Amino acid sequence: MSTASKCRQLTLAILKPHITKVPHVFQNVRNCIIDNGFQVVKSTRTTITKHQAAAFYSEHKERFFYNRLITFMCSGPSEVYILARKDAIRTWRELMGPTKVYQAVYTAPNTIRANYGLSDTRNATHGSDSVESALREIEVFFPSFDYEKWIVEDEPYFSSGKVQFDEENFVHRALKS
């Protein structure tokens, strides 16, 4: 995913179940995404299956919080997005704040997790931590998304601003005609 610097970088973002249940909080986080210059390449609302959650969080399988995390992530609908912008991974992670909500409250009080996180498991959002993770995570939730095809066919429109925001579906569409 490391392409020329003019290209948009992609990251996966998840708004966790407790966020999607509270309309004003949900809208505030969505506004934060758009207000910080992200373009939404793909958007879906889904209740994550145990199979998806297990694949997604496989690196945590031996950790003490794994079962609690899987149970929570499957407890209700989440919003899952592919976000694009220059330096998307770093920027989204900065907006989210530290993973540990207690730490976020004291060290990054204006972040999403500081404002809307409830615990380390219910920390409001997820964001990819690297280009490699982003590609792997996107595959879990958007298996038909073809990154190479997107780079060739759609990314130039996103980089040049030739996109239109579909607010109802919370996605940007390339204006190809």
- Positions at the binding site: 16, 65, 93, 99, 113, 123
DSSP label at residue 145: -
Cα–chain center distance at 10: 9
* Catalytic machinery residues: 126
Annotated binding site for ATP: 16, 65, 93, 99, 113, 123
**What burial letters (b/e) apply to 117-146, b meaning 16+ CB within 10 Å?**
beebbbbbbbbbeebeebeebbebbbeeee
Strands (E), the chain: 9-15, 39-46, 78-85, 125-127, 163-166, 171-174
